[in-house]
Amino acid sequence: MDVEAAKLIGAGLAAIGAGMAAIGVGNVFGSFLESALRNPGAADGQQGRLFIGFAAAELLGLLAFVVSMILIFVA
Amino acid sequence: MAAEAKVDPMYQFTIKPIAELNIAGYDVSFTNSAMWMLITTVVLTLFVAGGLKRQMVPGRWQMMVETFTGFIDDMLEANIGKAGRKYVPYVFSLFMFILFANILGLLPLGIVGVHPFTFTSHFTVTGILAVLSFSIVLIVGFWRHGLHFFSLFVPHGTPLPMIPVIAPIEFISFMVRPFSLGLRLFVAMMAGHVLLEVLSSFVIDGTNAGAGFGLLVGLPSFLLMIGICALELLVAGIQAYVFALLTSLYINDAENLH
């Protein structure tokens, strides 16, 4: 296989990670909303933790983006 | 088929020198990145200076600034406790600088011929901001706790046989912090701007290919762009918030250990 083609295929495969991060981020907000509706009084106090979870889940998706960018533009 | 307009999504991140300057063989030119940092600083200073009126009944402007300072104050109080008050100036400057930079970079000034440059989409800038936060954590940690600061790597109640396993993991997760902090902001901003550029190339190429393609491809892409722009404004705020939140959490580790 051509090296250029292999790079593009690799970059495309890395983009799957972005979809996986979407599942993760959706899970974070979904679970938060689910429990926030059960106990709205406690919800506001947990917003910091919500965003920490969001940041952690999102970072992994962003890493996938970095991998594909490196494959296309740097490697 | 009309000639394809080549839209290079990475072109917007090019750093161009505005005033060439060389000192002792080092290139320290005043670039568009530096110019937008300066603009951000000026806008931020004007914004905060407008709110320093100390009126008993605050006007709209003072209220706006005080909402932001109160927000950061509450965040530090909740995460660090009483000792968090002294970090308000740093975390406030950090949060507002990133927020203003993100939002200024999104402004549609291209219509009047000025092209905004989002300097937070460069790892050099966000990396320095992250290293700044990280060095504050290190300095505060060693200042307050001395060598006892290393107990950060051994969480409370770790069974003795587990320490050789846990400590390296905690150490790696500690050392990765500045990297992940800078990387998150830079990639989030860059990905959004690349996405907008790619969608704009759909609009341009689609409309150039004929009215049918314009209606079929150009119009939906344009509507999507409007939505993504709103999403990008949200991301600009969230990323600034996350940067400030994680900085305050890391400072909490240094201030209180765990």
CB contact under 8 A, B183 and A63: yes
Q: Does A62 touch chain B (CB under 8 A)?
A: yes
pLDDT digits (tens, 9 = 90+) for B178-188: 999 999 999 99
Residue B4's pLDDT is: 55
The model's confidence at residue B73, banded by pLDDT at 50, 70 and 90, is very high
Question: CA-nearest residue of chain A to B191?
Answer: A65
Where is average pLDDT lowest: A9-13, B99-103, B105-109?
B105-109
pTM: 0.87
The CATH number for A44's domain is 1.20.20.10
Mean per-residue pLDDT for B79-93?
90
Of all residues in chain B, the one with the smallest CA distance to A68 is B191
Give, for B203, the enclosing helix (H) or strand (E): helix B177-208
Tell me: pLDDT of B66 over 70: yes
Task: Determine contact, residues B101/B37, Cβ cutoff 8 Å.
Answer: yes
C-beta of residue B29 within 8 angstroms of C-beta of residue B18: yes
Of all residues in chain B, the one with the smallest CA distance to A67 is B187
CB-CB neighbours of B193 under 10 Å: 20
Task: Name residue, tokens 């291209």.
Answer: B110
Worst-scoring range by mean pLDDT, B11-25, B127-141, B143-157? B11-25
Structure tokens, B125: 């800038």
Window 101-160 of B, Cβ < 8 Å to A: none
CA angle (B222, B108, B9) in 5-degree steps? 65
Q: What's the mean per-residue pLDDT of chain B?
A: 87
Lowest mean pLDDT among B11-20, B87-96, B97-106: B11-20
**What is the per-residue pLDDT for B1?**
41
Q: Determine what percent of chain B is predicted with pLDDT higher than 90.
A: 40
d(Cα B187, Cα B235) in Å, to the nearest integer?
11
pLDDT of residue B5: 56
pLDDT, tens digit, for every residue of B183-239? Answer: 999 999 988 888 888 888 888 888 888 888 888 888 889 999 999 999 999 999 999
Q: Quote the pLDDT of residue B38.
A: 92
Q: Give the burial class of B3: count Cβ atoms within 10 A of its Cβ; 0-12 exposed, 13-18 middle, 19 or more buried.
A: exposed
Range of the domain at A45: 3-74
Residue B57 DSSP label: S
> Quick check: B180 contacting A, CB < 8 Å?
yes
Residue bearing tokens 């900085």:
B247
pLDDT cut 70: percent of chain B above it: 97
Whether the per-residue pLDDT at B170 is higher than 70: the answer is yes
Q: Do A55 and B184 touch (CB under 8 A)?
A: yes
Mean pLDDT of chain A, nearest integer: 89
Residues of A in contact with B183 (CB under 8 A): 59, 62-63, 66
A18-53 residue pLDDT tens: 889 999 999 999 999 999 999 988 888 888 889 889
Predicted pLDDT at B46? 93
Decide if A62 and B184 are in contact by the 8 Å CB cutoff. Answer: yes
* Domains identified in chain A, total number: 1
Cβ partners under 8 Å of residue B107, min gap 6: B116
CA distance B232 to chain A (A): 15
